[in-house]
A and B are shown apart, each in its own frame.
Chain A
Amino acid sequence: KAGVTQTPRYLIKTRGQQVTLSCSPISGHRSVSWYQQTPGQGLQFLFEYFSETQRNKGNFPGRFSGRQFSNSRSEMNVSTLELGDSALYLCASSLGIEQPQHFGDGTRLSIL
C-alpha cells in the first residue's frame, strides 16, 4: 500500500513569490493535515481537511491556504513568501478525525 506522497521534495524560492505544495494521501484516507516544522518551533499545525472541507486551521497568517479535492488529494499554497517561511512542510493523512496520522516525507522549502 503506497504511503503519503508529497511533491516536490525540495523547493527554492525568493521572497515575495508564491508556492504550491501537493500531497496525495494513503488510499482510502479522507483526512489530510498540514504541518510546518522548524528547528525552533517544532511541529506546528497549519490546517486539516476532511472530505474537501477545512475542518480546522492553526494560527498562521492568511498567506497560508489550502484545499482538498474530491479524490482526497490536497494542495497547500503560500503567497508572498517571507524568509521565515523556510521550513519542512509535512502532510499527514488519516482515515478520519482523531485517527492516527501517517506522514509523507515532506517538502523542504527554502526562501532566499
Chain B
Amino acid sequence: QKEVEQNSGPLSVPEGAIASLNCTYSDRGSQSFFWYRQYSGKSPELIMSIYSNGDKEDGRFTAQLNKASQYVSLLIRDSQPSDSATYLCAVSAKDMRFGAGTRLTVKP
C-alpha cells in the first residue's frame, strides 16, 4: 500500500464546474496535510494547508480533512482553464510524503 494515494486521473471538468480531488494516507500519526499545484515544467506551488478535521476554505479552494478515515480532499469551485495542472497531496508525519498527483484539465 502506498503511503499517500491519489486518484490517478486524468480528471476533466468543464469551466465553471466543481473539481474534486481525493487523497488517502496510511500513517495515522500524520498531523499536517498540504495540497500543491504543479504546472507542466514548473515546480510545485503550495495552495492549501490543513491540520485539523473539517473544512478549510480559501477563495475558490476548500480542503477537507477526516483523520478517522485518513482522507483529505480538495474542492475547486468555479473551475477555470488556468486551474489545469497536476495537484499533489502531501502528508507530513516523520517526513513529507507526496502522492503521485492527479492531473486536472478544465475545458473552456
* A interface residues (Cβ-Cβ under 8 A, vs B): 33, 35, 42-43, 45, 48, 55-56, 58, 90, 92, 97-106
Contacts and interface: CB of A to CB of B under 8 A. Distances in A.
Contact of B96 (A101, A104, A105, A106): A101
A42 B95 contact: no
30 contacts: A33-B95, A35-B98, A42-B98, A42-B99, A42-B101, A43-B88, A43-B98, A43-B101, A45-B97, A45-B98, A48-B95, A48-B96, A55-B95, A56-B95, A58-B95, A90-B43, A92-B96, A98-B31, A98-B32, A98-B92, A99-B32, A100-B34, A100-B46, A100-B49, A101-B34, A101-B96, A102-B46, A103-B44, A103-B45, A106-B43
The bracket for how many chain B residues form the interface is 20 to 34
Given A102-B46, A103-B45, 14 more contacts: A33-B95, A42-B98, A43-B44, A43-B98, A45-B98, A56-B94, A97-B92, A98-B31, A98-B92, A100-B49, A101-B34, A101-B90, A103-B43, A103-B44
Contacts, number: 45
B11 interface: no
Nearest to A56: B95
Interface string B17-46: 000000000000001101010000011111
B95 A45 contact: yes
Main secondary structure, interface of B, reads: strand
A72 B98 CA distance: 23
Contacts of A56: 94-95
A35 B97 CA distance: 10
A43 B87 CA distance: 12
Contacts of B95: 33, 45, 48, 55-56, 58
